Chains A and B, each alone.
Chain A
Amino acid sequence: MTQQPVLQGRGLVKKFGKVTALQGCDFELYPGEVLAVIGDNGAGKSVMIKTLSGALQPDHGEVLLDGKPVHFNTPLEAQYAGIATVYQTLAMSPALSIADNMFMGRELRKPGWRGKYLRQLDKPAMEKFSREKLTELGLMTIQNIKQAVETLSGGQRQGIAVARAAAFGSKVIILDEPTAALGVKESRRVLELIKDVRARGIPIVLISHNMPHVFEVADRIHIHRLGRRLCVVKPGEHTMSDAVAMMTGAMEPPGETQAA
Chain B
Amino acid sequence: MSDTGTANQNSSNQSYEDVLKDAATTVAEFEEDESFSRKLQNWLHSTPSAVPMFVLLAAILVFGLILGSKFFSPFAMTLILQQVMIVGITASAQTLVILTAGIDLSVGAIMVFSSVIMGQFTFRYGIPAEISVAIGLGAGALMGFINGVLVAYVKLPPFIVTLGTWQIFLAANFLYSANETIRAQEIEEQAPTLQLFGESFRIGGAVFTYGAVAMIVIVVLLAYVLSNTAWGRHVYAVGDDQEAAELSGVKVKNTLIQVYTLSGLICAFAGWALIGRIGSVSPTSGQNANIEAITAVVIGGVSLFGGRGSILGALAGGLIVGVFSLGLRMIGTDPQWTYLLIGALIIFAVTVDQWIRKGTA
Contacts and interface: CB of A to CB of B under 8 A. Distances in A.
Interface of A: 55, 74-76, 79, 85, 87, 89-96, 100-101, 104-107, 109, 118-121, 123, 137-139, 141, 143, 146-148, 150-153, 156, 184-185, 188-189, 191-193, 195-196, 211-212, 215-216, 235-236, 240
B267 to A, nearest CB: 24
Contacts of A79: 249
Nearest to A151: B360
A191 B307 CA distance: 32
B249 A90 contact: no
Interface stretch (B189-197, B225-233, B257-265, B327-335): B225-233
B14 interface: yes
B316 interface: no
A119 B249 contact: no
B20 interface: yes
B42 interface: yes
Contacts of A195: 7
Interface residues of B, number: 44
Given A91-B244, A148-B45, A76 B3 contact: no
Interface string B204-233: 000000000000000000001000111101
A193 B1 contact: yes
Contact of B230 (A76, A119, A215): A119
Given A121-B233, A184-B20, A192-B1, A89 B13 contact: no
B303 to A, nearest CB: 9
B188 interface: no
A95 B307 contact: yes
B244 to A, nearest CB: 4
A130 B341 CA distance: 45
Given A75-B249, A79-B249, A151-B42, A156 B29 contact: yes
Given A104-B233, A120-B229, A184 B16 contact: yes
Contacts of A92: 241, 244, 248
Contacts of A96: 233, 236-237, 240, 307
Contacts of B243: 89, 91
Nearest to B231: A119
23 contacts: A76-B249, A89-B244, A91-B244, A91-B248, A92-B244, A93-B236, A93-B244, A96-B233, A96-B240, A104-B233, A104-B237, A104-B248, A109-B230, A119-B228, A119-B230, A121-B230, A148-B45, A151-B45, A184-B20, A196-B1, A216-B8, A216-B10, A216-B14
